[in-house]
Amino acid sequence: MAIIQFPEGMKWGTATASYQIEGAVNEGGRGTSIWDTFSKTPGKVVNGDNGDIACDSYHRYEEDVELLTDLGVDVYRFSVAWPRIFPNGTGEVNQEGLEYYHRLVDKLIEKGIEPMCTLYHWDLPQALEDKGGWNNRETIDAFVQYAELMFNEFSGKIKSWLTLNEPWCISFLSNYIGAHAPGNKDLQLATQISHHLLVAHGLTVKKFRNLGIEGKIGFAPNTTWLEPYSNRQEDIDACNREIGWYIEWFMDPVFKGNYPEFMLDWFKKKGVQLEIKDGDMEAIQQRVDFLGINYYTGHIARYKENSGLLDWELVEMNYDRTDIGWPIFPEGFYNVLMRIKESYGDIPIYITENGSCYNDEPENGQVKDNGRISYLQQHLTALSRAIASGVNVKGYITWSLLDNFEWAEGYSMRFGIVHVNYRTLERTKKDSYYWFKQTIANNWFEN
């Protein structure tokens, strides 16, 4: 038994995203997003599920804020559905959409919870996708306009902003692997989109500074860790490519003003021709106030010639896995944070997502999700090691407050610390909720 103590002032929170929880897709003047289209395309989402109702948080947000209040969080990270604000992506503003987020934010503030707003958690207005989506540079301008409106509208209320959630998923997962909306399978397209996303991020940060908005702004890249199977250079290089695809590809441009050479060379070998316009790199390299880090899993891997995009293969070492099949790899969390510190210095970091999938159901009103508690304990222990090693961690935000629409997995995979019955929409606090509540209250836990 050991006490894992967190520094004074550590911020605790939970996260959600608009399409995953709101439902009410045809209400309040909301326009269509690429996830409405994708989820209704046969074969794209498990069981043909979609976000039409989800957790119905559009109507039940007060109940959700109650859950947060009782949990005792400092921060709630949520995202805004762009098509609720601009149903067509640009042009006319939908007041009803703004009013919904005012109601939510006002309620949070009333309860003493700091709102942390993600501007883009994947629900691109379909009208923009119809004109080429993120491959069209007009989408960059549309995003900056949308962000500007949000900054002005919520100035003084929302003081923590994230531009993009997981640009790797928006570009490569959605446009090269094709598992998420819009579902393209084209490496050239995906890589170009990754660049446009970074430009959109940078110009948004610039806009935020020029407007003189009070508060902090950052972005939330997703990370992973591959531990080399051996110390052979080819194993180390193969793992570095995978990690670099998530970390350096998206962070070097922001913090150093250029793409990592080893990844540029690799993509070039694969036939990618990245188009970078004059001024793009300068636009991307804006100072951010903090970095959001999302981490879930890692693996052990080794070099394998002609294997996938980056020439590596997993080595099965029988790590325990969560119900979605992802290995539990807390040492990867520590290593990711150390790598970021070594490369980019002491930028303040919020863990903007970390959590696990366990599909336990209520029995007599109780959800015994011991797997999730253990996952949290292991990852928070790794986090406290990183803090002891000097990583400038300001907060920890778990994914997720609620079971919700898990993208291509539909409702089959549950990540919440609160169970949602998708038939009745009833919320049930899981054992992990009570464990997290105690940890927040103490600012430590015993493992």
The answer to whether residues 375 and 321 touch, using CB atoms and an 8 Å cutoff, is no
Instruction: For ligand BGC, give the closer residue by CB, 126 or 404.
Output: 404
User: Is 446 part of the annotated catalytic residue set?
Assistant: no
Q: Does 418 bind ligand BGC (CB under 6 A)?
A: no
Q: Which tokens hold the place of 310? A: 């980056």
- Least Å distance between CB 79 and ligand BGC? 9
- Close Cβ partners of 145 (under 8 Å, ≥ 6 residues apart): 86, 90
Beta-strand pair 11-15/393-399: parallel
Using CB under 6 A as the binding rule, the residues of this chain from 169 to 198 that contact ligand BGC are 169
Using CB under 6 A as the binding rule, the residues of this chain from 252 to 311 that contact ligand BGC are 294
Vertex 418: Cα angle to 415 and 424 (nearest 5) = 105
121 is in an annotated binding site: yes
User: Is 353 part of the annotated catalytic residue set?
Assistant: yes
Rounded-to-integer distance, Cα 19 and Cα 342, Å: 35
Rounded-to-integer distance, Cα 393 and Cα 309, Å: 33
Residue count, binding to ligand BGC (CB under 6 A): 11
Instruction: For ligand BGC, give the closer residue by CB, 280 or 353.
Output: 353
Q: Which of 129, 166, 227, 248 is catalytic?
A: 166
Q: Helix or strand or coil: residue 106?
A: helix
225 is in an annotated binding site: no
CA distances from 23 to 26, 27, 53, 57, 124 (A): 8, 9, 4, 7, 16
Instruction: For ligand BGC, give the closer residue by CB, 242 or 353.
Output: 353
Q: Single out the segment in contact with ligand BGC by CB under 6 A; choices: 6-14, 59-67, 86-94, 161-169.
A: 161-169
Q: Single out the segment in contact with ligand BGC by CB under 6 A; choices: 70-78, 153-161, 164-172, 385-393.
A: 164-172
Q: Does 168 bind ligand BGC (CB under 6 A)?
A: no
From 86, 115, 120, select the one nearest 102 (Cα to Cα): 115
Question: Taking the CB of residue 416, how many other CB atoms lie within 10 A of it?
Answer: 31
Task: Tell me the per-residue interface mask from 380 to 399 with ligand BGC, x by CB under 6 A, - otherwise.
Answer: -------------------x
Put residue 268 in one of left, alpha, beta given phi > 0 → left and psi -120 to 50 → alpha.
alpha
The only residue of 17, 263, 408, 440 in contact with ligand BGC, by rule CB under 6 A: 17
- Least Å distance between CB 382 and ligand BGC? 18
The set of catalytic residues is 166, 353
Detail the residues annotated as belonging to a binding site for substrate.
20, 121, 165, 296, 399, 406-407
By CB under 6 A, name the binding residues for ligand BGC.
17, 20, 165-166, 169, 222, 294, 353, 399, 406, 415
